[in-house]
Amino acid sequence: MQLMTNDKLRLVYNDTGKVGQPTIILIAGYSGIKEEWLLIQKKLTTQGWRVITFDCRNHGASSHGATGLRISRLAMDLANLMQKLSVTSAILLGHSMGASIIWSYISLFGTAKIIKIITIDQSPKALNTDDWHFGAFDITYKNLALKADMILTTSLTAQRVDETMWDLLKERHRCHPFNQQQTHPLLENHLVQDWRDVVMTIKIPHLMLLGGKSMIWGNKFNQYCQEKYQNNSTQVIILKESGHLPHLEEPLNFMAQVIAFINE
């Protein structure tokens, strides 16, 4: 299925489960595709949820080009998708850059249509500065242009991904190649965002799932999140054996945590 965004770009999506039922929207990270969610999509659908997955612009089967390569535009794409599919009460789940899209959506549109959010292994501020030492690797404003692509050249998993799933993802990427050079402006835009004020003021339930062996953020960031963000609305859970891709590395544990949270 597909929709046309309000800036005339085609997004491809899947919509499973019964329309009108509680809705959960799953958002992949930078270079990620909707097929990453197949296992949890099936599990949530069998439990009565309506589940929507989609490929962001310049990702997967959606349109590729040089326009709108910024997080705020991807948040608008999410809003366009929700409007087209008449979603008025949703849980948003985003991995990595997908979390940034969620925080941007909340900053732009508020939480009137959102009942809960789940963010996966993403710092609210991705660059390291004098007042923030929990960014990606050692990337700063000064070396951003040179080091941003470390995100794609570093092995991001601590556990072996299921071979069948890995083969499926490789096949889908062969069908719809990811153009790293063309999409690089989106990566840089993602990395320069600072969502700390948004995260601190979220009033709806927020689950932060973090990889205990994440190559991008590290244990000091995990400890900071538990101390700083864990409160009445935000719950921080560390999946100890996962790297940056817990939904692919520990799918059963990941699904158990997500289902427990959405059923609370």
Residue 120 bridge partners (DSSP): 95, 209
- Give the pLDDT mean for 25-49: 96
Q: Give one word for 17, left, alpha or beta, with left for phi > 0 and alpha for psi -120 to 50.
A: left
Asked if the model's pLDDT at residue 247 lies above 80, the reply is: yes
pTM of the model: 0.97
pLDDT of 241 > 80? The answer is yes
Q: How confident is the prediction for the chain on average, in pLDDT? A: 95
Q: What is the pLDDT of residue 146?
A: 86
- Closest to 9 measured CA to CA, from 53, 46, 61: 61
How far is Cα 205 from Cα 12, in angstroms, rounded to an integer? 29
Q: What's the burial of 6, exposed, middle or buried (CB within 10 Å: 0-12/13-18/19+)?
A: exposed
- How far apart are the C-alpha atoms of 182 and 202, rounded to whole Å? 33
Summarize pLDDT for 151-208 with one digit per residue, the tens: 888 999 999 999 999 999 999 999 999 999 999 999 999 999 999 999 999 999 999 9
The predicted structure's pLDDT at residue 16:
94
The residue-averaged pLDDT of 44-65 equals 96
Q: What's the confidence (pLDDT) of residue 159?
A: 96
Cβ–Cβ under 8 Å, residues 91 and 25: yes
Report the percentage of the chain scoring pLDDT > 90. Answer: 91
SS3 of 219, please?
helix
At residue 246 the predicted structure's pLDDT band, cuts being 50, 70 and 90, is: very high
